[in-house]
Chain A
Amino acid sequence: MAVATNPQTGLPDNVMVSRLDALANWCRKNSLWPMPFATACCGIELMATGASRHDLARFGAEVFRFSPRQCDLMIVAGRVVMKMLPVLQRIWQQMPEPKWCISMGACASTGGVFDTYCVVQGIDRFIPVDMYVPGCPPRPEQLIQGIIDLQDKIQREGTLSGKEFALPQRQQRKRALVELPIIGQ
């Protein structure tokens, strides 16, 4: 049986035309393999997100790998202390490109209520972050929304060679350290 020809493109109907970038983005966004960097209570919600009730597999991101070499999405769930930060940076550097990072919860994003000498006040001071998920802890729905938004972002601005990562607006600025006064001092 002959395949009809598309009058606009002149190609058979079973041939689709796209940009290579879009094709690569489509593959990448639907097979995000998370690296669960779960250091505190947010990690429990992260586990719930991966479990059957919320089922992250629906979005192609259920393959949690504990080896950074096999991951392309780092989910930092929980507070990061200064002894853990070099570990976090090492793991981030071990992940192959292209890679993305979700900062899950108030602690990973800002230090949360733990404004003490050993807790890093936001991982985005030291590693690049693509998506922030607010909440303490965020519900699994929120994390899933974060992953969907990240998928949108990958589809929108991703390139085959990853040159969007070199854009100036993707470089995090060094944040000024604003110390809040402590009550009673």
Chain B
Amino acid sequence: MPAAPETVNAIKGRFAEAVESEFRGQTRVIAPRESLFDMLQFLRGTRGFDLLVDITCVDYLNYRDAIERFGLVYLLANVETSERITIRCFLDEPDLTVPSVTSLWAGADWMEREVWDMFGIHFEGHPDLRRILLPDEYTAFPLRKDYPLQGRGERHNFPVLRRDQS
């Protein structure tokens, strides 16, 4: 269900720089990085978006018409009214830092760790920003488009156990 008009108007009234659009019944708001946290806090506190469905990211490297490289995606839902809204925030290198929303939704913890693991977006204020899926010693961010599909040899960087040693 798209966000109610009151929600959209409330966002627009408070954040003049927000860009709102609708596509196939889904409401999307693009927030500049400066007001991202305030907007999410506003939605959580005042508009009752109590469920953070997902945080993810898209790498628009070499994508036609793309201006910024990374597009963060926050999917929110209001369990009470069934409203759903997508908040997007575009980031460009070298400053890939956004405020963490773990203080608003505790469930953001692992989602932000996953986005950090795969894209290298730094969430400022996250209590424990470690890799979540890949081994700790991994150094690359594999879902970036400039990372080769087959990796840089990490998958073959192990000792070989020979038959007579084991």
Contacts and interface: CB of A to CB of B under 8 A. Distances in A.
Nearest to A95: B166
A57 to B, nearest CB: 28
Contact of A118 (B155, B162, B163): B155
Interface in A75-110: 82-83, 85-86, 89, 92-93
B21 interface: no
A116 B153 contact: no
Contact of B160 (A93, A165, A172, A177): A172
Contact of A93 (B134, B154, B155, B161): B161
A128 B135 contact: no
B2 to A, nearest CB: 36
Given A118-B142, A128-B163, A166-B163, A85 B158 contact: yes
Given A93-B161, A93-B166, A165-B164, A125 B156 contact: yes
A174 B158 CA distance: 12
A121 interface: yes
B160 A82 contact: no
A163 to B, nearest CB: 10
A126 B161 contact: yes
A92 B159 CA distance: 13
A171 interface: yes
B132 to A, nearest CB: 11
A182 B158 contact: no
Nearest to A116: B149
B148 interface: yes
Q: What is the interface of chain A mostly: helix, strand, loop, or mixed?
A: loop
Contacts of B5: none
Interface string A103-144: 000000000000111111100011110000000000000000
Interface residues of A, number: 27
A127 B165 CA distance: 10
A120 B155 contact: yes
Most buried by A among B155, B159, B160: B155
Contacts of A89: 158-159, 161
B162 A117 contact: no
B166 to A, nearest CB: 6
A144 B150 CA distance: 33
A128 B166 contact: yes
A170 interface: yes
23 contacts: A82-B157, A83-B133, A83-B134, A86-B158, A89-B159, A115-B149, A117-B142, A117-B149, A117-B151, A117-B152, A117-B154, A118-B155, A120-B155, A125-B156, A128-B163, A165-B163, A165-B164, A166-B164, A170-B163, A172-B162, A174-B160, A177-B156, A179-B150
Interface of A: 82-83, 85-86, 89, 92-93, 115-121, 125-128, 165-166, 170-172, 174, 177, 179, 182
Given A116-B150, A179-B150, 9 more contacts: A116-B149, A116-B151, A117-B152, A117-B154, A117-B155, A119-B155, A126-B160, A127-B166, A177-B156
